[in-house]
Amino acid sequence: MFFFYPADFTFVCPTELGDVADHYEELQKLGVDVYSVSTDTHFTHKAWHSSSDTIAKIKYAMIGDPTGALTRNFENMREDEGLADRGTFNR
């Protein structure tokens, strides 16, 4: 499951990522691999993971897509803002 969100250090995104983290073990038991994706860098993900209790509980991969290549591949880019749109894809 690829879970796209606009940006780290925002107000809504941590609650969504935290909800997925709360269900991560259930998803794994179903054979679902979880990847969160934003156009932030992996350095930004690390800083957010280190500074937020909600994000610190995340055990799934947080993919940095600063060029937007993966986000565009899923046709999920807000081109005018250079940010991923919210979206979940099972592939």
CATH number of domain containing 83: 3.40.30.10
Give the structural domain span for 39: 2-89
Number of domains forming the structure of the chain: 1
Cβ atoms within 10 Å of 7's Cβ, excluding its own: 15
Q: pLDDT per residue over 25-36, tens digit each?
A: 999 999 999 999
* Residue 13 designated active-site: yes
Pick the catalytic residue from 2, 3, 5, 13: 13
pLDDT in 10s for each residue of the chain, 91 residues: 999 999 999 887 788 899 999 999 999 999 999 999 999 999 999 999 999 999 999 999 999 999 999 999 999 999 999 999 999 999 7
Q: What is the pTM of this model?
A: 0.91
| Structure confidence at residue 67 (pLDDT) | 97
Alpha-carbon gap, residue 91 to 51, rounded angstroms:
31
